[in-house]
Amino acid sequence: MKSSKNLKENDIIALKKAHPCGSNRWAVLKVGMQVKLECLNCGKKMSFARREFEKRYKSILK
């Protein structure tokens, strides 16, 4: 299992499943008990509880 412990704001990450717009690249806006992400393709912002985010997280791209 990949750990997201060294995740920080402004990182570009990939999630396991693609967003409905077709992209799986996300910018990290906030890290804490909740992780706030923005899709780099369509601009949609989403917020996940840390536990839910850990299930969806794949890797840091940048």
Assigned token pair, 42: 């369509």
The whole-number pLDDT of residue 45 equals: 97
Residue range 41-57: mean pLDDT, rounded: 94
Q: In which band, very low, low, confident or very high, does the pLDDT at 6 lie, cut at 50, 70 and 90?
A: confident
9-40 residue pLDDT tens: 999 999 999 999 999 999 999 999 999 999 99
Q: Return d(Cα 29, Cα 11) in angstroms, integer.
A: 8
What domains, with CATH codes, occur in the chain? Answer: 12-60 (2.30.30)
The whole-number pLDDT of residue 1 equals: 46
Residue at 48: amino acid letter: F
The whole-number pLDDT of residue 22 equals: 92
